[in-house]
Amino acid sequence: MEFVPCLTRSVEGGIEIITLGHPLLDDYLAFVAARARADTWLAVAYDLKVFFEAVGKEPAAVRRADVFAFLAAQRAPRRGETVVRLDDGEAGLAARTIARRLSSVAGLFAYLAAREDSGVHASPVPRGLASRRPGRRGRGGVPLVRTPRTLPRILAPAEVDALLAALRTHRDRAMVLAMLLGGLRRCEVLGLGLADVSAGERRLFIAEGKGGRQRIVPVSPRFFAALGDYLDGERPAGAATGKVFVVLKGPRRGQPLTAAGLDEILDGARARAGLARATCHMLRHTCFTRLREAGMALEAIQAQAGHASIESTRIYLHLANGWLAGEHLRAAEAIDAQAGPAVTR
């Protein structure tokens, strides 16, 4: 039996609902909605839509061959055999996109297998291809999708100055500085409540961080100065929301600013500043790179960033070129000092 998904978003009783038109898939989306952010929920729904459009089968009829055929289709050239992206040299979708979609599909089938009433007894998504020989120790294995470990991009000091100069309101400046000086994620900036701001202590309380983790983030006085100017002179007095950052004009005046609204503000400032690229996450990466260059301990950066694992924080060791060059020079001088007497003798 062929199954064609249809992604539908609706609101019932003030609660948003996302469905794909299949009872098992819709149950899984409800399961995800209770455990993840709205953006993650929507991304999973779209990934499953893409998968079942390509496969065209009921969940219980999906086999491993279908998964491998889906991966091959995702890697197929999108704009001709000779057209590739400059970033990674790939003609198909980015490896990270394919890996995310595969993860969404794997999550669905793990859920269906755990239910024991879906007709799915084992996930058709393999964890990887075995590579070790029989009788040898070690986990080994080849991942189905190998994602490149690339360094994130950051803004140079001159680019930061140009971007800040291109912002038009105190609200916009405060939001950008929250990411640039505090390292907040876009969702964390938009999720800030008035009660989360401690101006006297120069701290922000992040109530809904990634993975549901809460943390307290110290931020430079420059951010609080811009925030004060916004709250005193721009934020509508009659705003019905407790969120800090709201829409300033139009029919949605006083309502919470959306992710699309923040992206539009940043894109406009980037264009006026003449920058080729500037995203919310680039501002976050720039913050932690500068903190590392200034000598902030890696564990402290981990706490500031809200990383669950310090491995996620180690990338800033590589981005902080000045710090790495200084460490190398110090070690090289120590080696030369030890070798000097031996060479003389």
Residue 41 near residue 32 (C-beta atoms within 8 A): yes
Closest CA to 156 of 294, 298, 278, 264: 278
Rounded to 5°, the CA angle 257-220-201 comes to 90
307 included as an active-site residue: yes
Q: Is 49 a catalytic residue?
A: no
Catalytic residue of the set 28, 111, 230, 316: 316
Mark whether 153 is an active-site residue: no
State yes or no: is 185 an active-site residue.
yes
How far is residue 316's CA from residue 69's CA, in Å, rounded to a whole number? 37
Pick the catalytic residue from 284, 285, 290, 292. Answer: 284
Given 22, 171, 173, 185, which residue is catalytic?
185
In the residue annotation, 281 being an active-site residue is answered as yes
For 260, counting Cβ atoms within 10 Å of its Cβ (0-12 exposed, 13-18 middle, 19+ buried), the class is exposed
Which of 37, 100, 203, 210 is an active site residue? 210
- Which residues are CB-neighbours of 182 under 8 A, at least 6 positions away? 204, 217, 218, 219, 220, 223, 287, 304
CA–CA distance, 160 with 222 (Å, rounded to integer) = 14
Amino acid (1-letter code) at residue 21:
G
> How would DSSP label each residue in 93-149?
S-HHHHHHHHHHHHHHHHHHHHHSSSS--S-SS-S-B--SPTT--S---B-SS----
CA 287 vs CA 223, 251, 283: distances in Å: 13, 34, 6
Question: Which residue in 96, 252, 281, 318 is the catalytic one?
Answer: 281
The catalytic site residues sit at 185, 210, 281, 284, 307, 316
